[in-house]
Chains A and B, each alone.
Chain A
């Protein structure tokens, strides 16, 4: 016979084992962790805090009363985990990116770091969770009593359990404040407890199916003939409860804690997506058989909520009963521990600390001081949460069935869902909208479900409505009668909640910080980085730098950051965001943004271990004009920079042009002054008179020739200038190419040059400006006359059609043009220095090139032809460049 003392010993030994496990897991995690701690399996098992004593004991009770309905409590979460890709993944990603510490923090952060929302959600969570904690205490106390009815007072048991859990939670839940809110010891202990409760329930289930009933089909027979089979599905309740449990698994503070805050790696979700539903399936597999067999075997009036323990006891399976007891104990304790951590974080971060800071005044900026207060506040909060739970248990203990309190609690936290989903997927959701939705939903839930459930409303109001207004009856709002009270409450609370949320969001305007946060949340996957390897410090410091640059100016901010980094022994601009550095930064920022810094300090302490950009932007939000001004400055300086760059470019161009112009002028000067020199000199001689007649003739001739040279040079210059400026009028006419060449050769005057015209291909008719083309030919021929250095200079002119163009080659038998000068010959005044010959202004080829460009053709130097070779190419149907 298991005595009360043995039971207590076992329970205490179990708790000690959990302490040891948690202790080693914590230590191992601090030393770099072991693989098991960070495995998806641990993550999945820790999610089982969803399955509380309500599940462990209550599900069988529920099944005994309402048949298959208990399944909905597991099907909802199953669907949510199947939807991990669109929902949970985003939640976890945001949780990591924004360093979210609780569901209240998430809602508050999304809606512009609103303190009001944080307080509201925290209150909701406390109200929804306290009865639930009471429930756990009650179930543990009752299971003790079931074993050993003679042993002790139920209340005393509950008190001891509460005290023990408070101690455990304080020990392992408030150790590591700084390291992003993860509690490895707790999570590991929870995972172990998850295994214990699953094994316990499976063991009892198998014993019932194979030990008592005699196999699967017999069990189904028993179920079929049992009172549980009388239940028939009610569509409203079925859908409503599935929805409720789905909402709860996302919104319950303890689920948020293990799913988002304690998540080590986003990829663990991928495994949990099927493994957690599998866990739920296994947990619920034997619930109905146990209920049916319990009803059949146990005496009438036995509490179905304790069948899991009382059934093995009644069949003299004491060890099995002990295991079942431990399973139930595990379910209760793990829920209470995680819920206490989650609630204490919220209460401490969103209520206690802001209050304390406002009482402290400006002195609160001493960061070490605040950290001590923070830990103390967490510890006190944990104690308070458990005390509250115990008090609730004492006040209402044993008055309501376990299952109904569980559902009431679920419906309460489900009120967070519209704001949560809206915040995740809709950028237009505003803080006021969320506030309105939460308040409305909360009020309707309280009025239609919570208050009636704890029996606080007088019967007259329940039956006739307040002040006799029938349409306000708590369980028949707006005349909706004949509906299950739970479904009725879920329907109205969620519907009115959503309507208020949407409507108010649509008509209100979000503050800048809200808009910033909405973008960060809704588009969390579009942000760079993130992903599996979350890089804490660096990214944040970089953001800080960006922010600081905006407020302090780029150079000052960089100097500040560089100095801080150097002090930390690092190079570059990114120091670790240590408390000292953040404090320093805030002092610096205070100079720019004034009084709002104290506010930023509060922001820094509440919730996040280190300050985020959003916090600082909240500061900037208050001095919006300042930001506006600084961004204007930024825009202006950008504009200035752009203008400066354009000026620099223009200046470079001008300098280059000026060099070209100088060269050109200098060349012109040379070309003009050279003939002038001769003219002046010889004309002075002639003016002196008294020279020989032959000399006089000769000098007159020189003057005459040089004058012509000058005139031609001026003509060429004008011509080229017209060509280049595009002011040339072209007269297109149809001309025979051979006639044109004939004319050019004769007008160039061959001099000593033997011009050979290769026959054939010249019968080409061209539509072009024949005068201009002729000018090109003449220039090329006289070029050969001047520069062909062969003994007997020859020029071969040949015409060839190639495709839709005609090529006219001018090839002489001289030494040609050196390769390195080929590219220069078409430039103005590029008279090659080797050929010193009077009469060339060096503009001929430049003019040729310009003319050909106008005529739509080209002129090129062709190397390797045994002499200087120029090729004029013209399209047969030229598109003359008409300007």
Chain B
């Protein structure tokens, strides 16, 4: 199918889980494991969907999201944000920066997969789980 996801995440076990989940569904999963250079990685990979963790070494996911939305190249790029902190103010912040979907860890595999699919097809994902 050729659909690709860029996963920006630093926890090895979570990387492994999400990669297994998506690759099994036929996605090409590219990986970036730190905050630094994430924006460039997005530009280079030009994925259909970006899955972005909030707590990253070097740079916070919010910063990266902000820069992605400011970059004129793909203002409508679907970005799924993941956080383990689970505070409402984080959710509000992410929405104010223009996140496509905001998801709290731990997530169910089915939900994660469905969200990525929806985002890629331009469907509005169900309200933030």
Contacts and interface: CB of A to CB of B under 8 A. Distances in A.
* Direct A–B contact in the complex, CB atoms closer than 8 angstroms: yes
B84 A669 contact: yes
Interface in B100-129: 104-110
Nearest to A709: B13
B11 interface: yes
Given A669-B85, A702-B13, A836-B57, A677 B107 contact: yes
B11 A834 contact: no
Given A677-B84, A685-B20, A838 B108 contact: no
A702 B16 contact: yes
A674 interface: yes
B2 to A, nearest CB: 24
B12, B84, B109: which has the most chain A beta carbons within 10 Å?
Answer: B84
A640 B117 CA distance: 63
A727 interface: no
Contact of B14 (A662, A681, A685, A833): A681
B109 A673 contact: no
B75 to A, nearest CB: 29
Contact of B17 (A670, A672, A681, A838): A681
B106 A679 contact: yes
B57 A673 contact: no
Contact of A678 (B11, B21, B33, B110): B11
B87 A682 contact: no
B109 A674 contact: no
B108 A706 contact: no
A669 B54 CA distance: 13
B13 A706 contact: yes
A680 B11 contact: no
A684 interface: yes
B13 A685 contact: no
Interface in B4-28: 10-14, 16-18, 20-21
Contacts of B20: 685
B17 to A, nearest CB: 4
What does DSSP make chain A's interface, helix, strand, loop or mixed?
helix
A673 B84 contact: yes
A666 B10 contact: no
Interface residues of B, number: 27
Contacts of A672: 84
A880 to B, nearest CB: 38
Interface in B25-56: 33-34, 55
A723 interface: no
B71 interface: no
Contacts of B106: 673, 676-677, 679-681
Contacts of A835: 57
A836 B107 CA distance: 22
Contacts of A680: 106-108
A598 to B, nearest CB: 68
A673 B86 contact: yes
Given A669-B84, A833-B58, A676 B108 contact: no
A670 B84 contact: yes
A671, A681, A685: which has the most chain B beta carbons within 10 Å?
Answer: A681
Nearest to A666: B85
B86 A681 contact: no
B10, B85, B86: which has the most chain A beta carbons within 10 Å?
Answer: B85
Interface string A654-692: 000000001000110111111111111110110000000
A836 B55 CA distance: 11
Contact of B84 (A674, A705, A706, A833): A674
A666 B14 contact: no
A679 B14 CA distance: 9
A833 B57 contact: yes
A685 B12 contact: no
Contacts of A682: 13, 17
Given A673-B84, A678-B14, A838-B13, A684 B109 contact: yes
A685 B109 contact: yes
A540 to B, nearest CB: 60
Contact of A836 (B10, B84, B105): B10
B34 A678 contact: no
Given A673-B84, A702-B16, A681 B10 contact: no
Interface in A790-841: 833-836, 838
Interface string B48-88: 00000001011000000000000000000000000111110
B107 A669 contact: no
B17 A669 contact: no
A441 B85 CA distance: 95
Nearest to A684: B109
B15 to A, nearest CB: 10
Contacts of A834: 57-58
A662 B58 CA distance: 22
Nearest to A682: B17
A678 B17 contact: yes
Contacts of A673: 84-86, 104-106
Nearest to B87: A666
B13, B21, B55, B58: which has the most chain A beta carbons within 10 Å?
Answer: B13
Nearest to B11: A674
Contacts of A679: 106
B25 to A, nearest CB: 13
Contact of B21 (A662, A676, A681, A705): A681
Contact of B13 (A662, A666, A670, A678): A678
A669 B104 CA distance: 11
Given A685-B109, A838-B12, A677 B85 contact: no
Nearest to A671: B84
Contacts of B21: 681, 685
Nearest to B34: A836
A758 B107 CA distance: 50
A833 B36 CA distance: 12
Nearest to A702: B13
B86 A669 contact: yes
Interface of B: 10-14, 16-18, 20-21, 33-34, 55, 57-58, 83-87, 104-110
16 contacts: A673-B104, A676-B105, A677-B17, A677-B107, A681-B17, A681-B18, A681-B106, A681-B107, A682-B17, A684-B108, A685-B109, A705-B13, A706-B13, A834-B57, A835-B57, A836-B33
Given A666-B87, A680-B107, A682-B17, 18 more contacts: A662-B87, A667-B85, A670-B83, A672-B84, A673-B86, A674-B14, A675-B13, A676-B105, A678-B13, A680-B106, A681-B18, A681-B107, A681-B109, A685-B20, A702-B16, A836-B57, A838-B11, A838-B12
